[in-house]
C-alpha cells in the first residue's frame, strides 16, 4: 500500500486523500474496472470522454456505458486480466455519447491491478484524447498526398535534392525523360543526370548556390545538356526553388526537355533569314523597277514639248523619292523603319542634281539632330513625297529671274511629335494660292499626302520667303 512520505504526512496529507486528489485532477482520463469489467471509479476527464456523468459509471458494465467502443476495448481488458500484462498506448477510434457522436481518436493504456499475491483483480485505464493531433496528421497526410499527386502529374521532370546534392525525390516525368527507374536515381547526386562535360563545373555551381539559395534557373540562361540512360544528350532548362524541410535545405529542380523548342527556334530563325532575304530582294526589285520607270520618263521628256517635259520631270522626281526609300531599306537591311535624317540628306542631294542648272545660285541646307529619328515604311513614303513636293516648288517658284537663295530643311522633335520644316528665303507664295485648290498637281497632292502620313501640314507666317511645317505624331 502506498505510504505518504514523512514530509507529506506531517503536512496533513493522508494516503487516501492524496490518491483521490491525484485521480480527480489528472489531465488524462482515468478509470478502474473490476474483474467483471464493471466501472469502479472514473475521474471527470474520462466521464467527459465517455459522455456520461461519473455517478452513472460506477457499478455499470463497460458495454452499458460505451456500447459503441465496447467491442474493441472489452477484449483488450480481458486479455490484461488473463495475462497480467499491460497494453501501452493502444490506438482506439470511434465515437461515444460525447461530442455529438463525432468520430474521435484516443490513446489508451490498460494496466493490471493485482492483489497481494500478484493476481489481477482489476484494470487501470488511462485514456488520452488525441483527436486534434490525429486530424493534424491526417491533414498533413492529405497535403502530402496532394503534393505527390501534383508532382507525379507534372509534365516536366521534378527532382528534390538535399543539401548534399543527392536526389531524394523524383517524379514519373523525370523517369520517362531520362529512362531510369526512381529506385536507380534516389541517393545519386544531381550530376548523375548531366553530361560528363558539365559535371565538374556544376559541383562548384551547386556548392555556391547552396550558400545563397534563391529561386532561379540553374545555368543562368546558358545552354545546358543532360544525359539519358542510353548515353544520349539533350538540351534542358532547369529551374531551382529552395525549400526548407525537416530543418534541412532542399532544392526542388524543374527539368524541361527543350529539344523541340530548340528545333522550333532553329526553324523560326531559318524562316526569318529566308523572310529577310525575300524582303531584301523585294525592296531591291521595287527600287530597280522604279528606276526603270524613272528612266522611261527621262527618255519620254526628250520627245515631249517643253510643258510636257516639265511635267514628266516632276513625275520622275516623285518616282525617285519613292525609290530612294526602298534603296535605304535595302542598304540598311532594316525593313521596319527609315532613318529620316539620312533620307532627307539623300533627297536634298537628289533635288540638287535634278535642278542642277539652278544649284549654283540656290543652295540647300539640312539641319538634323544627333539622335536618329525613324519613321515606319507606311508613313515614310507619303512623308518623303511631301518633302519632295515642297522642295521642288521652292526650286521652281521661290527664286524667279535668277534670284539667289537658300532652301533649308530642318528635322527635329518637340512636344507635338516629329517636325520637318521646309523653308526658303524667296519671294513667298501669293495670298490667293491655297493648298488643294490651285491647279498645279504638287499643291493638289499636299493635302492627300499629309493625310496618308497621318500628320498635319502647317504654313506659319514668315517675314521672308515661305515656310511649311510637317508634323508627324510620335509613333509607339
pLDDT at 125: 94
**Which of 145, 58, 34, 135 shows the shortest CA–CA distance to 93?**
135
Over residues 112-141, the mean pLDDT reads 91
Over residues 242-265, the mean pLDDT reads 83
89 φ/ψ angles, rounded to the nearest 5 degrees: 50, 60
Does residue 253 register a pLDDT over 70? yes
Cβ neighbors of 335 (< 8 A, separation 6 or more) are 276, 279, 280, 283, 329, 377
- 144-153, 303-312, 400-409: the lowest-pLDDT one: 303-312
Beta bridge mates, 456:
471
Confidence of residue 37 (pLDDT cuts 50, 70, 90): very high
| Stronger pLDDT, 106 or 311, i.e. the higher one | 106
DSSP 54-104: GGGTTT-BHHHH-TTTHHHHHHHHHHHHHH---EEEEEEEE--SGGGG--E
pTM: predicted TM-score of the whole model, two decimal places: 0.45
Q: State how beta strands 362-367 and 405-414 pair.
A: parallel
Does residue 112 register a pLDDT over 90? yes
- 23-37, 346-360, 436-450: the lowest-pLDDT one: 436-450
Confidence of residue 434 (pLDDT cuts 50, 70, 90): low
Over residues 221-246, the mean pLDDT reads 82
pLDDT at 383: 86
| Stronger pLDDT, 439 or 274, i.e. the higher one | 274
| Stronger pLDDT, 2 or 461, i.e. the higher one | 461
Tens of pLDDT along 314-335? 677 777 777 777 777 767 777 6
- 65-69, 124-128, 459-463: the lowest-pLDDT one: 459-463
Over residues 395-424, the mean pLDDT reads 89
2 close to 16: Cβ distance less than 8 angstroms: no
Domains and CATH numbers, the chain: 22-135 (3.30.450.20), 151-259 (3.30.450.20), 333-473 (3.30.565.10)
Confidence of residue 284 (pLDDT cuts 50, 70, 90): low
102 close to 75: Cβ distance less than 8 angstroms: no
| Stronger pLDDT, 334 or 372, i.e. the higher one | 372
Mean pLDDT of the chain: 82
- 7-21, 134-148, 232-246, 388-402: the lowest-pLDDT one: 7-21
Does residue 109 register a pLDDT over 90? yes
Confidence of residue 279 (pLDDT cuts 50, 70, 90): low
| Stronger pLDDT, 468 or 213, i.e. the higher one | 468
User: Among 208-212, 244-248, 324-328, 453-457, which range has the highest average pLDDT?
Assistant: 453-457
457 close to 446: Cβ distance less than 8 angstroms: yes
Number of CB atoms found within 10 A of residue 47's CB: 20
pLDDT at 439: 54
pLDDT at 7: 47
Amino acid at each position: 500500500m502506498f505510504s505518504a512520505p514523512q514530509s507529506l504526512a506531517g503536512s496533513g496529507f493522508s494516503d487516501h486523500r492524496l490518491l483521490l486528489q491525484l485521480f480527480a485532477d489528472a489531465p488524462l482520463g482515468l478509470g478502474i474496472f473490476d474483474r467483471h469489467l464493471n466501472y469502479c471509479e472514473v475521474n471527470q476527464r474520462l466521464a467527459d470522454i465517455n459522455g456520461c456523468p461519473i455517478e452513472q459509471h460506477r457499478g455499470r458494465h463497460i458495454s452499458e456505458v460505451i456500447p459503441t467502443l465496447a467491442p474493441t476495448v472489452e477484449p483488450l481488458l480481458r486479455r490484461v486480466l488473463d495475462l497480467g500484462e499491460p497494453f501501452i498506448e493502444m490506438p482506439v477510434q470511434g465515437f461515444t455519447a460525447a461530442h455529438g457522436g463525432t468520430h474521435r481518436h484516443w490513446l489508451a493504456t490498460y494496466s493490471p491491478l493485482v492483489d497481494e499475491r500478484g493476481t489481477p483483480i482489476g484494470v487501470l485505464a488511462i485514456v488520452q484524447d488525441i483527436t486534434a493531433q490525429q486530424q493534424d496528421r491526417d491533414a498533413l497526410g492529405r497535403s502530402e498526398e496532394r503534393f505527390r499527386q501534383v508532382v507525379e502529374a507534372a509534365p516536366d521532370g521534378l527532382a528534390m535534392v538535399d543539401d548534399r546534392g543527392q536526389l531524394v525525390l523524383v517524379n514519373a516525368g523525370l523517369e520517362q525523360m531520362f529512362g531510369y527507374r526512381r529506385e536507380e536515381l534516389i541517393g545519386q547526386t544531381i550530376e548523375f543526370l548531366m553530361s560528363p562535360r558539365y559535371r565538374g563545373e556544376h559541383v562548384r555551381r551547386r556548392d555556391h548556390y547552396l550558400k545563397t539559395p534563391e529561386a532561379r534557373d540553374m545555368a543562368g540562361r546558358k545552354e545546358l545538356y543532360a544525359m539519358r540512360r542510353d548515353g544520349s544528350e539533350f538540351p534542358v532548362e532547369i529551374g531551382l526553388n529552395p525549400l526548407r524541410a525537416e530543418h534541412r535545405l532542399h532544392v526542388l529542380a524543374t527539368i524541361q526537355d527543350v529539344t523541340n523548342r530548340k528545333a522550333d527556334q532553329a526553324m523560326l530563325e531559318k524562316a526569318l533569314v529566308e523572310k529577310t532575304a525575300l524582303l531584301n530582294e523585294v525592296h531591291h526589285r521595287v527600287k530597280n523597277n522604279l528606276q526603270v520607270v524613272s528612266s522611261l520618263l527621262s527618255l519620254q521628256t526628250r520627245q515631249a514639248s517643253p510643258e510636257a517635259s516639265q511635267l514628266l520631270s516632276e513625275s520622275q522626281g516623285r518616282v525617285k523619292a519613292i525609290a530612294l526609300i526602298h534603296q535605304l531599306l535595302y542598304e540598311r537591311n532594316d525593313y521596319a523603319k527609315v532613318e529620316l535624317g539620312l533620307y532627307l540628306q539623300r533627297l536634298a542631294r537628289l533635288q540638287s542634281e535634278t535642278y542642277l542648272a539652278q544649284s549654283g545660285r540656290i543652295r540647300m541646307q539640312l539641319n538634323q539632330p544627333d539622335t536618329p529619328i525613324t519613321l515606319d515604311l507606311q508613313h515614310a513614303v507619303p512623308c518623303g513625297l511631301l518633302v519632295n513636293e515642297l522642295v521642288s516648288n521652292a526650286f521652281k517658284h521661290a527664286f524667279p529671274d535668277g534670284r539667289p537663295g537658300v532652301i533649308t530643311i530642318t528635322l527635329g522633335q518637340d512636344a507635338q511629335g516629329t517636325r520637318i520644316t521646309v523653308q526658303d528665303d524667296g519671294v513667298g507664295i501669293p495670298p490667293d494660292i491655297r493648298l488643294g485648290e490651285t491647279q498645279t498637281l504638287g499643291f493638289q497632292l499636299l493635302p492627300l499626302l499629309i493625310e496618308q502620313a497621318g500628320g498635319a501640314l502647317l504654313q506659319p507666317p514668315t517675314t521672308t520667303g515661305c515656310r511649311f511645317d510637317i508634323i508627324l505624331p510620335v509613333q509607339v
